[in-house]
Structure 1
């Protein structure tokens, strides 16, 4: 029976590729032809997983290209792509063999034009305004004369020098500078962190908390100022508990932080002017107000003095006011002598009338009546006291009858308790007398047991079992080498010590034929 081969015969001389070989060949072709390309398109789906890489699509009206930016490339981007944004992406084409697809590795992204950036900016502004972050009711008043001013800007630019110079000219204040990047990828995160950091300073802490904040940057293009349009910066400015002045760019530049700030300044120098008044103007105004106050006080005194004089002229003279009272006083003085004589005569007659009624018989009769009344009251009081005593006696007799037995019982209980206490005291005294002797016996037994343990564990007992202790030159010898070096040896047995010759004795006797010295 013949075997039939059903496998198809090779067709022509075409080479055979494995899947990996073909994928690698396609990858090399695409990367060789499109090593560096710039692609213009609209950003589609945007995804950024926890790894930090950025995945998005570039599309036009007919095609879509998958794009990816690695984490390090994303950190270097000036502008990050957002969905709906028209951009020009720079990168290189490659393939992804795992899904048999090609993709663009994007190294940089730039807006396709100012129109795209403005459209994205307007869209973000509308969304934040819908949340109420730009409402005028949320804005806080700027303090008239702050003690501490916090400035969020670059420490090396001309902006901070302009602000400090203007503050020094107008009204010197304590200034805290929080250095940040005012351009680039790190700008938004650092500015937001600076605003939150100033707000986190405690009142009365080691670092003084600012009374007003200034976020400042010099002029630049829309791309240069883009960090101040980021949502994280706008939310930090809107949530600041410290009043905030935005001074980003020149007068014609507008960023989203300007809408969220409590006050917008056209330039950083103008922000310093809005933060503090002019000290010389305040001094001049104070002097003017002081002069006005002095003039006002003087004019007031003059007017009141004139008014007092006018009122004084309208009043009658003192002599006129006192004439009638003085006349009444003179008339009263004239009538006083006659009145006193009449009063004395009247009191004299009243005294004579009362003196006539005070006769000795009348006094004795009054005393007798008072004595009778006092005697009656004394008798009634005596009878009341006796009745009161009798009632109390009736109440106390039953109580006294019960008191004697109770007192006897109490005395009996007290006697029994005293007897029991004496017996307990006797037993305790006996125990106290016996306690030292018993403790002495226990301590003696324990000492004897410890001594027996010491003797048992001592090396003398070990020597009695057939062991010996070798000492060389007074020290215990535990090795042959130490014994050979010793000048004198001593061996201790269980029944005594034995002295033997050391190194000197062995040299005198000589060593054995085998080359080993004898110990004895």
Structure 2
């Protein structure tokens, strides 16, 4: 049976074995899992290696005060950012083992160029993914009003950059009225991307009540080193697909973040962003003034042209009217003369017709009168023949009873019979009546 060791003996054996067999230092690629700087100036880290979302390896590490001051200063100068959790580094380490605290790594140096290249690689991967998904220019397709009067601002109310932006925007010399509403967010650090996305969601929820023209993302002051949140895929994709044009004024001039690339419009600073918005108002006012002047000139020219055209038209109308009146006068005179001539001829013809008609009527009536005269003479002769006196003159008599001819009344014995003869009348009393050979007494 192997001789048993105490725990201290085992740990000392491990330490001596590591010291004998390991190199004095190694260059190790790892991700900073946790990072903490203490008051004494030392930095304590957890270095991890991941396979997908799982941690495949993990070890404690430290950077002593003097070394950290040198490493951190050079790292910030080269990469433009501070060491922090989630960052992938290439570190020169030596392995140490302590009987009480166990194994750890002492970081001697960090190559900032590796981190810079790794950051560029990750940034490029995000850009390529956004490009494949067709998101790089998507937000640029939304029309940005020339005069954005309602603006949603994502920033921090306590930041100097936000204050500068609002002063320049709302206190403009021209007195343009702009409605600006702040949506609070953190614009640096690990939570920045998530808080910006939440602010965008809040703006979207208010879209039914507030009809914003654009979203302005301005970095409210702070260090220019913490820009990683603006290279985040989730934030960049959200801005790219956002239904309103997004304007960025993150406040850095040297670097262009992925959020700047996918945004509708990128400005360098908050004040430059305010100036950009105001320039739209000034451009619109200038266009409006130009349009008004153009309209005034066009109106004046049109009025002059119409005045000339109206004068020409009046002259033409007067000339045509005079000509037409003259022609009508001539035509009227001609018609009058024609009418006079025609009337004279018609009168003559009518007089001839009347004379002829009168002669015809005279002849017709004379012939008719003559005919009627002959008829009257004949009737007169016939009447004379029928006149009782004519018969009486020839010796005939006429008898009446009670003024009625005896052939038209019933005669009774005792009736008075009056007999008319030429120049005399005889009265007789009927004593008997004989009819067809019979005697009535």
TM-score (norm 1): 0.46
Match among 251, 254, 257 for residue 256 of structure 2:
254
Matched positions, count: 297
Within 5 A, what are the aligned runs for 1:147-166? 147-166=149-168
Within 5 A, what are the aligned runs for 1:35-184? 41-43=28-30, 56-57=48-49, 66-67=58-59, 79-81=84-86, 85-87=88-90, 113-135=115-137, 139-168=141-170, 169=172, 171-184=176-189
**Structure 1 alignment gaps of length 5 or more:** 1-7, 47-53, 70-76, 96-100, 350-520
- Compute the displacement of 1:299 (Å): 3.0
Q: Note closer, same or farther for the CA distance 1:16–1:231 as it changes in structure 2 (3 Å cut).
A: same
In structure 1, what is the Cα distance between the partners aligned to 2:346 and 2:128?
Answer: 107
CA contact (8 A) 1:248 1:255 kept: no
Question: What's 2:405 paired with?
Answer: none
CA contact (8 A) 2:32 2:89 kept: no
CA contact (8 A) 1:153 1:217 kept: yes
Decide which structure has greater strand share: 2
Q: Note closer, same or farther for the CA distance 1:137–1:343 as it changes in structure 2 (3 Å cut).
A: farther
Match among 165, 188, 207 for residue 202 of structure 1:
207
Q: Note closer, same or farther for the CA distance 1:202–1:298 as it changes in structure 2 (3 Å cut).
A: closer
Match among 171, 178, 188 for residue 193 of structure 2:
188
TM-score (norm 2): 0.54
| Max Rg structure | 2
In structure 1, what is the Cα distance between the partners aligned to 2:14 and 2:305?
Answer: 105
- Compute the displacement of 1:231 (Å): 1.2
Helix, strand or coil: the match of 1:290?
helix
Within 5 A, what are the aligned runs for 1:287-326? 287=289, 289-310=291-312, 313=315, 316=319, 318-326=321-329
Question: What's 1:388 paired with?
Answer: none
Q: Note closer, same or farther for the CA distance 1:194–1:93 as it changes in structure 2 (3 Å cut).
A: farther
For residues 123-178 of structure 1, what are the alpha-carbon distances to aligned partners after superposition, in whole Å with 9 as ceiling and x for unaligned?
A: 32233223222136863221111231011112111111121122121633111111
Question: What's 1:227 paired with?
Answer: 229
Helix, strand or coil: the match of 1:119?
helix
Q: Does 1:329 align with 2:321?
A: no
In structure 2, what is the Cα distance between the partners aligned to 1:197 and 1:311?
Answer: 67
**Structure 2 alignment gaps of length 5 or more:** 20-24, 34-45, 62-81, 358-441
Q: CA RMSD in A?
A: 4.9
Helix, strand or coil: the match of 1:253?
coil
- Compute the displacement of 1:234 (Å): 0.4
CA contact (8 A) 1:219 1:253 kept: no
Helix, strand or coil: the match of 2:279?
coil
- Compute the displacement of 1:291 (Å): 4.2
- Compute the displacement of 1:94 (Å): 9.0
Q: Note closer, same or farther for the CA distance 1:136–1:130 as it changes in structure 2 (3 Å cut).
A: same
Q: Note closer, same or farther for the CA distance 1:263–1:66 as it changes in structure 2 (3 Å cut).
A: same
Larger RCO: 1 or 2 (CA < 8 Å, sep 6+): 2
- Compute the displacement of 1:280 (Å): 6.1
Q: Note closer, same or farther for the CA distance 1:229–1:286 as it changes in structure 2 (3 Å cut).
A: same
In structure 1, what is the Cα distance between the partners aligned to 2:192 and 2:83?
Answer: 10
In structure 1, what is the Cα distance between the partners aligned to 2:139 and 2:196?
Answer: 24
In structure 2, what is the Cα distance between the partners aligned to 1:193 and 1:125?
Answer: 22
In structure 2, what is the Cα distance between the partners aligned to 1:157 and 1:272?
Answer: 15
In structure 2, what is the Cα distance between the partners aligned to 1:221 and 1:23?
Answer: 50
Q: Note closer, same or farther for the CA distance 1:131–1:110 as it changes in structure 2 (3 Å cut).
A: farther
- Compute the displacement of 1:282 (Å): 5.0
